Each structure stands twice: as C-alpha cells, then as structure tokens.
Amino acid sequence: MTDPQWLDDVEMRAWLGYVRTRDLIAAAIGRDAGRAANLSYVEYSVLVYLADAPGQRLTFADLAGALEWSQSRLSHQITRMQKRGLVVRETMPHDQRRTVARLTSAGGQLLTTAAPAHVRSVRRHMIDVLDRAQLAALAEIYDVLIDHHRSAARELGGRVPTPEVTPAVDLA
C-alpha cells in the first residue's frame, strides 16, 4: 500500500475553500428561500428544471440526471413535493413503465413567486461578492471540473448527467 500524496497548503486551501463556501452559500440561499417562499433550495431546483422542460414534465431518469441525483433520492423528493401539491407523478402514455414528474399550477405559481428572491439571494451571497474577473475565473474553473467528471463517467460507462434542459433561472 502506498502513502497518499498529501495536499500541500495551497491545495488544502483550495479544497477546504470549495467545501466550506459550497455549504455556506447553499445554507444562506436555503434560509432566504425558506423565508421568502417556504421553499427549500432543493425544491426550487426541481421546480426550475420542470418549468423549463417541454410540457413542464421530465422522466425521472432525465430529471435525476439533470440534478445529478440518484433516482431514489429524486423519488423521495418528488413524494414530499407531491404532498405539497407542487408536482405530480404520471406514467408515460406510450410506456407505462416510465414515470414522469410534472409541474402543477401551484408549483409554477410558487416558483414565479420565489424566483426574484432566489436571484437576489444568489447575488447577495456569491455574485456581488466577487468582481467580474473573479467570476469569470470561477466559471472557467467549474467548467473544467464539470467536463473532467463527465468525461470520467463516460469512460467508466456510467450515465453522464447532462441536463436536457437549461434552466432559465440559475440554480446557483
């Protein structure tokens, strides 16, 4: 067994910076969303993808891929959101074995109410904290990391999570 190549100071700062800011920003946006619309960050993400999909519906496989979640996690989330009347489950007419999630009118109305507060929160907790050069650098860094992980998944023969819809409202 070989010793791991331990992280140096810069590598450790980069790693811990990512982990800490991801958690801090997500928590802050989640708190804001809860206050503004009684909607969690996770629920908001699901609603955005469904709102932008053709017919405001996606198969569980496509929605799980877009969110980069397991289908099991998505199923539990959809169950909770269905109880709130935000989404419904439907079977596909031409393939009864496949299930789709569809946005309800109540879910669409809540998303419309929540979106302005969500964008203000994203700006307050991340976008407006950085200057344009920092934002551009961060965007490029995330593009490289996303491309790397999607390529690795393809090489392993796994499903490559690529959203079939591009949300009109940023999920940041």
Q: At what angle do helices 9-37 and 105-125 cross, to 10 degrees?
A: 140
- Cα 44 to Cα 35: distance, rounded to the nearest angstrom: 13
Question: Measured between alpha carbons, how far is residue 172 from residues 121, 133, 168 in Å?
Answer: 10, 18, 12
**pLDDT for 75-130, tens place per residue?**
999 999 999 999 999 998 788 888 999 999 999 999 999 999 999 999 999 999 99
Question: Which helix or strand (DSSP H or E) is residue 47 part of?
Answer: helix 41-52
As a 3-state breakdown, the chain gives helix, strand, coil percent values, each rounded to 5, of: 65, 10, 25
Q: What sign for the dihedral angle of Cα 65, 28, 44, 48?
A: negative
Q: What is the mean pLDDT of residues 57-80?
A: 94
Q: What is the pTM of this model?
A: 0.78
- Per-residue pLDDT, 94: 83
